[in-house]
Amino acid sequence: MKTLEFLIQRLAKAAFVVLGVVILNFLLIQLAPGDPAAVLAGEAGAGDEQFIAQLRAQFGLDQPLYVQLLSYLQNVLSGDLGYSYRNQVPVADLIMERLPATLLLTGSAFLFSLVLGIVLGVLAAYKRGSLGDSLIMTGALIFYATPLFWVALMAVLVFSIHLDWLPPFDMESIGAGYTGWARVMDIAHHLVLPTVTLGLFFTAVYTRLTRASMLEVMNLDFVKTARAKGVPKGRIIRRHVLRNAILPVFTFASVQAGQLVGGAVLTETVFAWPGIGRLMFDALMQRDYPVLLGVFLVTAAVVVLVNLVADLLYRFVDPRIETAG
Amino acid sequence: MSFLRRYAQNVGALIGLAILVVVVLVALAAPVLYPVSPWQGVGEPLLGPFEDPAYPLGTDLLGRDIAAGIAYGARVSLLIGIISTAVAVVIGVALGALAGFYGGRVDDMLMRFTEFFQTIPAFAMAVVLVAIFSPNITSITLAIAVVSWPPVARLVRGEFLSLRSREFVQAAVVVGQTGPRIMATQILPNAISPIIVTASLMVATAILTESSLSFLGLGDRNMMSWGFMIGAARTMLREAWWLSVFPGVAILVTVLAINLIGEGLNDAMNPHLRGRKG
């Protein structure tokens, strides 16, 4: 019963955010300098008058504002994200075609950074004050201050151009016609650089967080008790400290999901990765606003979904969490 | 006094401060050091670094001096970083103070609003805002401010919530001071040090965001910026590595310096937390 209540509450919260982004998008179209019809058509300044007039009638832009908002909401909620006049395709189709590539990239970058971040953070906390600790924390400090897109470019410079180990562009070898396992390996090969460059910034974040969280738990009384009882240090770290220290890291990681998607815009642009981040960049270049707003809405929806799943998992991992969170 | 001494004990924080001072001096002296506009070609195109002592960091495809670009870029980065943070802090303090001081329904509504802005992907939103309102220094600064105020609001709300019930605040209520006056003159001064720490770290994030935006071509067309230089050099990576390496190092060093300062401020202002870092 409690779980159901919790679920409904979180679903309402998620719906609230998505609805908010839809309304925000609507307001942005209205507030944008120039005619909203021209904005939707992606025409800068003087476009074809007749075409714009036709669009204005089509979108009901001569109606009162609240009627426009209602019909916009209705469209979006029924899955119609508008039409890309530049590409002559519905926006929803464009995004759905690109979404899997982005989910693959952000998903693997998330796993990479979380695993590496936790391992490094635990090591640093375990060997506190040692040379290893200093090296790990200095590395984290540097990657925390490095722009994502620049790391990506430097990785291409070193690993693709100079060493020729990894492919710098695309998601798979064009025209190679791999199928089955060979294709999986080919995509994995292309995935390495984007994943690592997108993940390093977040690795730095999680390393710092894990270390701080570990050190905090290591000072608690039950750890002293375990030490006094003569439990070996490695076992204390694994079974007593890590289990308690890792929860804040997970919470923070799920909250950060949105940032990861934002970073994907930059990574995909550098690596010509065929996801929605690259789509967003192309839409920017072409001033294709319906696509831009559509990508924004979909990324927000993905983030909300990730947060929802994380909330549920979190409750499962730590039963102490109550509905009022 | 003891604050300065505590700050000075932190080697990292001193290094950060020294670097930042250099960056600020370069930004201020840019028009003196490089009187010609950084957009103007001055040398032979695509000179490598140290090939010509007049252009130690090399030149780009149009013969523009990379060193001049970096000096002028420092102005844009610092300007946008500081102003957008100032705007974000004003928004965050105002909303957080109202929420924490009045509580109840006001608090509920303001925190829903804050949570909304915290959930949606910040960078994607900044991109959309700048693109729709066309890229110029005002829209970029405001867009960064709009996506970075929520943590300040939450922080300030927490501080106000806990300070509100202290005796000195109750005394001010009894004396008959008005709500806004109590917030501004009694509570805010006591909440200022965590706000300063957060703000200093936000400047670093804002500089990263600005460089990412201008990398994507969403920079102000009239101002040379580090992100723009890297974005423009992206296709020439194979032929001319120095075009993208040096501006990137400039971003890295500046952001690193500001982060070090922020951590130093944090340690100096909250000495009781020092043991945790050990």
- B120 touches A: beta carbon within 8 Å: yes
CB contact at 8 A, B85 and B203: yes
pLDDT at A317 over 80: no
Reported ipTM: the value is: 0.86
Q: Are residues A67 and A105 in the same domain?
A: no
CATH number of the domain bearing residue A137:
1.10.3720.10
Q: What is the mean pLDDT of residues B224-239?
A: 88
Which pLDDT score is estimated for A50?
Answer: 76
- Closest residue in A to B114 (Cα–Cα): A17
pLDDT at B177 over 80: yes
| Residue at A191 is within a domain | yes
Q: Are residues A138 and A193 in the same domain?
A: yes
User: Nearest to residue B238, comparing CAs of A168, A197, A173, A269?
Assistant: A168
Please state, in angstroms and rounded to a whole number, the distance separating the CA atoms of residues A144 and A136.
12
| Domain-terminating residue out of A42, A77, A112 | A77
Please state, in angstroms and rounded to a whole number, the distance separating the CA atoms of residues B254 and A136.
21
pLDDT at A217 over 90: no
Which tokens sit at B255? 């952001």
pLDDT at A10 over 90: no
Could you tell me how many CB contacts below 8 A there are between chain A and chain B? 136
Q: Are residues A200 and A274 in the same domain?
A: yes
pLDDT tens figures, A287-311: 888 888 899 999 999 888 888 888 8
DSSP 3-state assignment of B240? coil
pLDDT at B139 over 70: yes
- Asked whether the beta carbons of residue A212 and residue B276 sit closer than 8 angstroms, the reply is yes
pLDDT-derived band at A224 (thresholds 50, 70, 90) equals: confident
Q: Which residue intervals of chain A are DSSP H helices?
A: 2-31, 36-41, 49-58, 65-77, 91-126, 131-144, 148-155, 180-218, 221-229, 233-235, 243-255, 257-271, 276-286, 289-317
pLDDT tens figures, A203-213: 999 999 999 88
Which pLDDT score is estimated for B276?
Answer: 43
Q: Are residues A139 and A175 in the same domain?
A: yes
Q: Are residues A13 and A118 in the same domain?
A: no
Q: Are residues A283 and A307 in the same domain?
A: yes
Which pLDDT score is estimated for B42?
Answer: 80
pLDDT at A46 over 70: no
Which tokens sit at A293? 């707003």
Which pLDDT score is estimated for A323?
Answer: 44
Domain that holds residue A25: 2-77
Which pLDDT score is estimated for B272?
Answer: 60
Q: What is the pLDDT of chain B when averaged over all its residues?
A: 89
Q: What is the mean pLDDT of residues B26-35?
A: 90
CB contact at 8 A, B38 and B64: yes
Burial of B73 (0-12, 13-18, 19+ CB in 10 A): buried
pLDDT tens figures, A74-129: 888 888 888 887 778 888 999 999 999 999 999 999 999 999 999 999 999 888 88
Q: What is the mean pLDDT of residues A169-195?
A: 81
Q: Which residue has the higher pLDDT, A40 or A321?
A: A40
pLDDT at B171 over 50: yes
CB contact at 8 A, A22 and A304: no
pLDDT at A325 over 50: no
Q: Which of A158-167, A198-207, B144-153, B223-232 has the lowest mean pLDDT?
A: A158-167
pLDDT at B75 over 90: yes
Q: Are residues A53 and A172 in the same domain?
A: no
- Determine which of B119, B253, B267 to mutate to test the interface with A (most A C-beta atoms within 10 Å): B119
| Residue at A82 is within a domain | no
The CATH number assigned to the domain with range B2-273 reads 1.10.3720.10
Please state, in angstroms and rounded to a whole number, the distance separating the CA atoms of residues A224 and A103.
43
Please state, in angstroms and rounded to a whole number, the distance separating the CA atoms of residues A225 and A231.
9
Number of domains chain A contains: 2
pLDDT tens figures, B184-214: 888 999 889 889 999 999 999 999 999 999 9
Q: What is the mean pLDDT of residues A31-52?
A: 68
List chain A residues with CB under 8 Å of B118.
Answer: 255
Q: Are residues A44 and A145 in the same domain?
A: no
pLDDT at B275 over 50: no
pLDDT at A190 over 90: no
Please state, in angstroms and rounded to a whole number, the distance separating the CA atoms of residues A237 and A5.
36
Which tokens sit at B225? 């910026």
Q: Are residues A186 and A52 in the same domain?
A: no
Among residues 158-217 of chain A, which lie with CB inside 8 Å of chain B? 161, 212, 215-216
Q: Are residues A256 and A220 in the same domain?
A: yes
Percent of chain B with pLDDT over 90: 54
- Asked whether the beta carbons of residue A17 and residue B119 sit closer than 8 angstroms, the reply is yes
Amino acid at site A276: I
Which pLDDT score is estimated for A129?
Answer: 84
Percent of chain A with pLDDT over 70: 93
Q: Which residue has the higher pLDDT, A83 or B136?
A: B136
Q: Which residue has the higher pLDDT, B51 or A28?
A: A28
- Determine which of A24, A141, A148, A149 to mutate to test the interface with B (most B C-beta atoms within 10 Å): A149
Most confidently predicted of A2-6, A19-23, A43-47: A19-23
| Domain-terminating residue out of A27, A46, A77 | A77
| Domain-terminating residue out of A51, A77, A103 | A77
Which pLDDT score is estimated for A324?
Answer: 43
pLDDT tens figures, A239-253: 888 888 888 888 888
pLDDT at B49 over 80: yes
- Asked whether the beta carbons of residue A284 and residue B216 sit closer than 8 angstroms, the reply is yes
Which pLDDT score is estimated for B273?
Answer: 55
| Residue at A84 is within a domain | no
Q: Are residues A50 and A174 in the same domain?
A: no
Among residues 190-219 of chain B, which lie with CB inside 8 Å of chain A? 204, 208, 211-212, 215-218
Q: Are residues A128 and A31 in the same domain?
A: no
Q: What is the mean pLDDT of residues B17-26?
A: 95
- Asked whether the beta carbons of residue B256 and residue A141 sit closer than 8 angstroms, the reply is yes
Which pLDDT score is estimated for B140?
Answer: 95
User: Nearest to residue A212, comparing CAs of A136, A281, A146?
Assistant: A136
